[in-house]
Structure 1
């Protein structure tokens, strides 16, 4: 295969050569062969690995992208597929939550049913149940309550928090916007608009912005899948080539 230098890989993506070395150190690209004097020699396989990793980041996030590449290089293909499945599942959940919030917006100006239609013990969740539903900690929910995002009721007997259907909706919205990078004070304003049926300009803008982000993430997943498929083929070709002509490595240098 054509020999490549760290600078060759770095130049394609506007990276520093140190970043390329760091990616190799962290297992995101395979270990480089070395010249007799100890210099790194990369190949098209390494270039393909770097393309895969950088395409995975906008699709699944930095942590998941690193996990996927490490699993690939440890021949743990099932773990790779599980990580990808989790990413798609989360994207689908985000889309479902977005649809739920949009439906809620349609009822902002509707009158709330009488309080008697909502007995305290009907369709409520504990803080632990809601935390489990959102995959967050109870401390996170208490923090959201502290800034006004959530306003749960209390069990008259135990004093424990009780989250009604509207509280769950507010928590789902907060979780969605938090992953979109919105600060807590902004989320509090949006949730307050839902509760008070005030102006919805801020809410609508936030939802449209998040819709664009979900679309971009979905497209990034498609691009990453293409790069990953190409890389798997390159790894297979490399394995065949290695069996025919084993390589040698020398001591480290750069």
Structure 2
């Protein structure tokens, strides 16, 4: 059954654009990209849109914050091509990615909680002393082989300096901290390529304490994405319902 697009109020590109702070060219671009259904044309060749297009635009703009521009475009294109199952699959993939990001955040927080202070006065003092420690004692403390520490160094997880006289690796407090964090994440099943960016965040923050602010911000961004996905789902459902009504 074809859509009865002429049964609704006719809207110009500028009518759709104004309500969302967009340009008329953006509206035309969205139509060409398949985000909006194809517009009808007047005898003079001008595009005319309907409330169905307005709903499609609202759905797309609501999907972008939670799914990103590219995925939101693919979702809308699939819906407009009658491939709703593909649209739902794309939405499911975004939710899986969000869940994976939440688990990553939880793993980082767990690893940080499990980290012992890098400055101690007990048996670990030799490991965390300001002068640094060598690969053997650090590997023994972590319960790993020295070869593992060397592999972590190649992956950029630790960056020990070399003793100018002996050439031995020397791990300072920051290196010990990074090694402990890497150890916790590896125990959690994370691959080296996923750990490296997290270690880089710790270094950029200047340590673990400043990273707490970044983790709080990370929580906020994940929550915002989750809520945006809910909003996008509601607007997409409204569009699908409007679309079904237009098909009758």
User: TM-score with structure 2 length normalisation?
Assistant: 0.69
Q: What SS does structure 1 have at the residue aligned with 2:102?
A: helix
2:204 maps to 189
Query: Residue 99 of structure 1: CA displacement?
Result: 1.0
Corresponding position: 1:118 with 2:144: yes
Deviations 1:84-111 (A, max 9, x none): 0110011111111111111112123346
- Cα offset, 1:188, TM superposition: 3.9
- Residues 13 and 27, structure 2, Cα contact 8 Å, conserved in 1: yes
**Contact preservation (8 Å) 1:28, 1:53:** yes
Contact map agreement 2:114 2:184 (CA 8 A) in 1:
no
Contact 1:27 1:70 in 2 (8 A): yes
Residues 174, 187 of structure 1: 8 Å contact kept: no
Bigger radius of gyration, 1 or 2? 2
Counterpart Cα distance in 2 of 1:47 and 1:103: 45
Tell me whether 1:16 sits opposite 2:23 in the alignment.
Answer: yes
For structure 1, the 5+ residue unaligned runs are: 128-141, 153-162, 178-183, 195-199, 241-254
User: Is residue 75–residue 90 contact of structure 2 (8 Å, CA) maintained in 1?
Assistant: yes
RMSD over aligned Cα atoms: 3.1
Aligned to 1:209: 217
**Alpha-carbon separation, structure 1, partners of 2:19 and 2:79:** 22
Structure 1 residues 19 and 81, CA gap change in structure 2 (3 angstroms) = same
Change (3 A) 1:175 1:91: farther
**SS of residue matched to 1:206:** helix
Query: What residue number does 2:104 align with?
Result: 97
Structure-2 change in CA distance of 1:169 and 1:106 (3 Å): farther
Quote the residue 2:132 is aligned against: none
1:88 to 89, 95, 117: 95
Partner of 1:237: 245
Q: For the structure 1 residues 75 and 11, does the alpha-carbon distance in structure 2 shift closer, same or farther, using more than 3 Å as the test?
A: same
Which residue does the alignment assign to 2:175?
none
> How far apart are residue 121 of structure 1 and its match?
7.9
**Aligned partners of 1:94 and 1:207: how far apart in 2?**
12
Distance of 1:7 and 1:208 partners within structure 2: 41
Following the alignment from structure 1 to structure 2, what is the Cα–Cα distance between the partners of residues 229 and 101?
36
Deviations 1:102-134 (A, max 9, x none): 111212334689624213688x9x99xxxxxxx
Q: Given the alignment of the two structures, is residue 227 of structure 1 paired with residue 235 of structure 2, yes or no?
A: yes
Distance in 2 (alpha carbons) for counterparts of 1:176 and 1:75: 41
The 2-side partners of 1:64 and 1:19 are apart by 18
- Looking at structure 2, the residues matched to 230 and 54 of structure 1 have their Cα atoms a distance apart, in angstroms, of 13
Deviation of the 1:25 alpha carbon: 0.8
Aligned equivalents of 1:18, 1:207: Cα separation in 2: 39
Q: Answer yes or no: is the 8 Å Cα contact 2:35–2:56 preserved in 1.
A: yes
Tell me which residue corresponds to 2:58. 51
